[in-house]
Structures are given as structure tokens and as C-alpha cells.
């Protein structure tokens, strides 16, 4: 049998899933690569992989897509790794730099700016001074491990899934396991079992992950991230896609 090609996110948030895949027999049947989220999406769009843990916003660029797992990268409220960092209140920012590694959170920022904060700053992709501008009215979106320990460095910090919760009352799905073609059910069943195994062994994973004084890794992996793709999260996902389409 040809191996199923999979692209997964290279951040800490995906380590429980990797643990599960690496400790299950399914590892013999998959060809796994680790990529930044924007590249996971591009690989699935270009059909270089069959399945990706892709930013849900990128489904809008796929002619065919199937959610193949009951697990995701989500949050029931603040996630503690997806932020707008700013030196002024968000309502006063004139420029927002977007994160080149993100697809979902850049769009989440746009949805919140328009519909929740009701402001229209300039949005910049590929800023030369991304995340290092000294302009007091320039803020930036940032996701993943690069945000760890940064919440003390900026005067105004907006946790985007926390803000989404205030706006909609709903949880949020950043990324989901999505295929660009039908995948046999025997495989998806075994795949979900492997992911579940990884989630059940987060405490073992925490023992080997590097700890940092400025970030609560246990709280992040056990509580802030919520990996279950519940009905409410699916509802939030489709609502989010509707908001993106209306931008």
C-alpha cells in the first residue's frame, strides 16, 4: 500500500498528536512532514500531501476537502499562543502586520477588526520589520511558539480566541485534519485512535518537553488548547468561514 502523505504543524501545539502517531502502528503507513501552518495548507492545496493539519481558513482555497478526524487545534477561550501584540489600544492602531506563518489567525484578526472592534487599520502582509516595528501605532499578529513569553513585553495583548469567544460566545478551531480526497475509513479510524493515544499521554510528553520560566507549558497543553472537534467547534468553524467570505 502506498503511504498516506501527511503535513502536520511543526509547533508545540501538535506534539501530543505526533506522540500518538509515533507510538502507534500507523506510523508505518504514513509519510509525515512537519511544516509551518501556511505551508501545511499550501502542500494540501498543491496536492503534495493527502492530509494536512491545516488552518481552517485555507479550506476556502480547496476545491474538495473532508474533515477526517474528531480532533483539532482549538480552544474554548483564550489559547495563549495566538495574539495581536500592540503598544496602543487596538482601536488606535493604524497598521496591523499579519503573520506569514498563519492563515486562520490572520483572518481571525481581520474578522474581529471589522466586526468586533469595528476599526479599519491598514493590513500588511510581508512587512520588512514584521514584529519589530518601533512605530507606536503598529501592531502585529503572531502565532505559535514564537509568542511564548511575549505577553509581558507589550502593553496591549489580545488573545484572539479569547476575543472571538467574547464576540460570538463560541469556542474556536484554528486547524483541523483535512484531506483533499476521500480517505478510506479503516485508515481514518486508526488515525483517530493514534491521535487519541497521544492526547491521553500528554503528561508523559510534558516530562520531556523543555520547560520555560515564562510560559506554563502544562496549562497550555492540558487546558488552554482544546483538541476535541465538538459540535460547537464545528459550528464555530462554519461561522468563521462565513465571516471570512464576507470580508
Shortest Å distance, C-beta 20 to ligand ISJ: 17
How far is 164 from 133, CA to CA, in rounded Å?
Answer: 26
The answer to whether residue 78 forms part of the interface with ligand ISJ (CB under 6 A) is no
The helix-helix angle for 104-115 and 231-245 (nearest 10°) equals 70
The answer to whether residue 82 forms part of the interface with ligand ISJ (CB under 6 A) is yes
| CB-nearer residue toward ligand ISJ: 16 or 37 | 37
Which among 62-70, 73-81, 130-138, 233-241 is the span making contact with ligand ISJ, rule CB under 6 A? 73-81
Site size toward ligand ISJ (CB under 6 A) is: 17
Can you tell me which of 79, 84, 139, 199 binds ligand ISJ, judged by CB under 6 A?
79
Half-sphere exposure of 19 (CA within 13 A, CB side): 21
Contact assessment for residue 238 and residue 101, using Cβ atoms and an 8 Å cutoff: no
The answer to whether residue 16 forms part of the interface with ligand ISJ (CB under 6 A) is no
Shortest Å distance, C-beta 184 to ligand ISJ: 26
How far is 108 from 97, CA to CA, in rounded Å?
Answer: 13
Which residues in 11-39 are b (16+ Cβ under 10 Å) and which e? bbbbbbbbbbbeebebeeebebeebbbbb
The answer to whether residue 37 forms part of the interface with ligand ISJ (CB under 6 A) is yes
Shortest Å distance, C-beta 185 to ligand ISJ: 25
**Beta strand extents in the chain (DSSP E only):** 4-9, 30-35, 51-55, 66-75, 82-86, 95-97, 122-124, 138-143, 156-159, 172-179, 226-228
How far is 112 from 5, CA to CA, in rounded Å?
Answer: 34
Can you tell me which of 42, 59, 86, 104 binds ligand ISJ, judged by CB under 6 A?
104
169 φψ region: left (φ > 0), alpha (ψ -120 to 50), beta (else): left
Can you tell me which of 44, 51, 73, 112 binds ligand ISJ, judged by CB under 6 A?
73
The answer to whether residue 24 forms part of the interface with ligand ISJ (CB under 6 A) is no
The answer to whether residue 103 forms part of the interface with ligand ISJ (CB under 6 A) is yes
The answer to whether residue 160 forms part of the interface with ligand ISJ (CB under 6 A) is no
* Residues engaged in binding ligand ISJ (CB under 6 A): 9, 11, 13, 37, 55, 73, 79, 81-82, 102-105, 143-144, 174-175
Amino acid at each position: 500500500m502506498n503511504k498516506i502523505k501527511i503535513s502536520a504543524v511543526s509547533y508545540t501545539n501538535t506534539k501530543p498528536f505526533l506522540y500518538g502517531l509515533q507510538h502507534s502502528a500507523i506510523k508505518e503507513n504514513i509519510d509525515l512532514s512537519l511544516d509551518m501552518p501556511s505551508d501545511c495548507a499550501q502542500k494540501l492545496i498543491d496536492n503534495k500531501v493527502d492530509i494536512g493539519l491545516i488552518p481552517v481558513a485555507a479550506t476556502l482555497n480547496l476545491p474538495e476537502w473532508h474533515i477526517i478526524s474528531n480532533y483539532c487545534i482549538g480552544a474554548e477561550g483564550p489559547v495563549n499562543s495566538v495574539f495581536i501584540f500592540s503598544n496602543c489600544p487596538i482601536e488606535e492602531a493604524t497598521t496591523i502586520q499579519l503573520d506569514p506563518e498563519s492563515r486562520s489567525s490572520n483572518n481571525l484578526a481581520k474578522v474581529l477588526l471589522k466586526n468586533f472592534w469595528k476599526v479599519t487599520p491598514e493590513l500588511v502582509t510581508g512587512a520588512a520589520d514584521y514584529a519589530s516595528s518601533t512605530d507606536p501605532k503598529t501592531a502585529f499578529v503572531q502565532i505559535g511558539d514564537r509568542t511564548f513569553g511575549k505577553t509581558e513585553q507589550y502593553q496591549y495583548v489580545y488573545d484572539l480566541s479569547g476575543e472571538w469567544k467574547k464576540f460570538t460566545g463560541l469556542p474556536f478551531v484554528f486547524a483541523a485534519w483535512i484531506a483533499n480526497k476521500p480517505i478510506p475509513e479503516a485508515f481514518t479510524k486508526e488515525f483517530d485512535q493514534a491521535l487519541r493515544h497521544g492526547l491521553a499521554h500528554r503528561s508523559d510528553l510534558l516530562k520531556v518537553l523543555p520547560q520555560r520560566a515564562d510560559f506554563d507549558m502544562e496549562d497550555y497543553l492540558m487546558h488552554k488548547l482544546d483538541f476535541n472537534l465538538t459540535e460547537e467547534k464545528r459550528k464555530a468553524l462554519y461561522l468563521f468561514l462565513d465571516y471570512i467570505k464576507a470580508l
